[in-house]
Amino acid sequence: MNIKHILFAATASIALSAPAFADDTYQTTTKVQKDSSGNYDETNTTTRTDAAGNTTTYQKNAKVGVDAMGNTSKNTTTTKVTDGVATPPHVVHTSNTEQVKDGVVTTSQAVAVDGKVIDAKTETKTQ
């Protein structure tokens, strides 16, 4: 009789804890735009919701611009927003830019956490 109670308790605990082991859900969207001049714009967004209801959203934007003189501008940004059920939203934003104009390359990078820039640098070089 004791073994039946132990097996029942073990089975019940596994069955009742199943929601805690539920898989995370993901939703992803992608938007791409191109034109005949070589300009390119892409946005990817992925939202993850865990079993507890916490949501994390990742967004990546990539943009490439080309003018008639062959000068280019490349820009990528990423944003990660974590919004917990019992915690305030947490935002991490990164930005990378490269501009080539008349043989001069300017690159810049920046990282911001919750609206505060924690790292930023710019560098200019001749090609």
Q: What is the pLDDT of residues 39-95, one digit of tens each?
A: 899 999 999 998 888 999 999 999 999 988 889 999 999 999 999 888 888 999 999
In the chain, the number of structural domains is 1
Residue 8 lies in a domain: no
Q: Domain range for residue 71?
A: 23-126
Is residue 16 in some structural domain? no
Residue 120 falls inside a structural domain: yes
* 69 three-state secondary structure: coil
The pLDDT assigned to 18 comes to 47
Examine residue 80 and state whether it is found in any structural domain, yes or no: yes
* 100 located within any domain: yes
In the chain, % of residues over pLDDT 90: 62
Angle at 125 between CA 69 and CA 63, to 5 degrees: 55
- Residue 9 — very low, low, confident or very high, per pLDDT cuts 50/70/90? low
> Is residue 34 one of the residues assigned to a domain?
yes
* pTM more than 0.85: no
- Which stretches within the chain are classed as H helix? 2-17
